[in-house]
Structure 1
Amino acid sequence: MLSKAYLLTLDPNVRAFTLVGAFMGHFALLEVGINAAIGEVLGIKSVRRAIVGRNMGFDDKIKTLRALVDSLIANREEAKKFDTLAKRARTCGELRNIVAHTPFRSSPTSDGVEFFPVSASSKFAFPDMDWSIDDFLKHIDNIEQVDNDLRSIEIRISIQRIAEALIGSRSAADLEKGTTSPLGGLFGLGAAFLDEKESDDEELPARSP
């Protein structure tokens, strides 16, 4: 993590590029986390996950994640929590678009960066936008918090799948008798793991001899 003390030792122009680069780098990690969360909810891994993530814009990823969580996570309190996180991630994405597509320079009035955004959605204007070092560190810290919390969806969804496999799987004999074997769920869990492993193996490209 960048420290304010270190940043203040840099040349103002170098500091401006360092701050913008740090913001963009942390956002990129957040987007990787979003891809992982979508993949985990959909139950896709490896090549399939990479393809889905690569061919969706960030805003579409957020919309998709919110819909998936609302539809597939049984715990409504957890679903609401993740929806709130997704909205925060979307706000981070809006800031990222401004930073990524706006000219900037070292600020003449602060220790940070002056941006030159253009607003033309309803009225044409040049909004003032100047982020100090503290502003950058605050935005980066928020991105890291959202990223860390969203990545926990992978663990939670995996636990939910294990529980469903243990509770819901039955052998043919159990279904005929209308009872559930104590081992039926475990056998189903093992089968689920094997199916997933075989699916992952199929997705991996063959290595050259």
Structure 2
Amino acid sequence: MAAVTSVRVNADNDKTDINTFELEPVNMVTRTSYMVKTLNDDTAVRQEPDSFSSEIAKIQKDSVYELLENIDDTWAKIVVDGQEGYVNIEEDAVVYENIQRDTDEESELRKNVVENALSFVGGDYVWGGEDPFSGVDCSGFTAYIMEDTAGVNLTHYSGAQASEGKVIGRDELQPGDLVFYSGENGINHVAIYAGHDKIVHASSSTTGIILSDMENGRTPVRFVSVLDDLQTKE
């Protein structure tokens, strides 16, 4: 496999030699989640898993939500309009398995995301920046790459981006997924997974945009996919 070559490489900034970095093949991944589908109109969503608990919302028949927790095969914990609540899965809803498989188009898209990100290695870090051609910060960089390559709109804030896709396990990590780090006040840095335990990110004003080890003095705290089920951008 040919190595990726960048026209923006700055040897003083580069933590991993981009000219010898080879793209990791994207595996065809199967991800399984569980969904809750309502059976009745005006299904009550309750504050606690109890029929006498306060009702926080009503949802209509055939509404679908991701299952957060199954309690004794009686109550399903879901999120409705930003609030966590419970629906009765003995009477009002069913739980089913949702299997998602990466497609060939998604694999190509992931490759394109990484190649686009790598093309900016050596660029400048600018706090609040949104354009890697003139300078960008970590979340501005990920937002730009995802919108430019995949048409995915992300908030220019790492803490928000951590909730704008599907949270995955480290063992499910694929090139093009997002990797998050935290500080004392929560998530404060985001990077794009490039494969081979490497990330590409707008690191700091000292280093700029670099390719580096995923374990770079900090341990990742969350992994998120925002590319599932997308088609290659025209």
More strand by share: 2
Q: Which has the higher contact order (CA 8 A, sep 6+)?
A: 1
Q: What interval of TM-score do these two structures reach, taking the shorter chain for normalisation?
A: under 0.3
Rg comparison, structure with higher value: 1
* TM-score scaled by length of structure 2: 0.21
Q: Compare the two structures and name the one with the higher helix fraction.
A: 1
**TM-score when scaled to structure 1?**
0.22
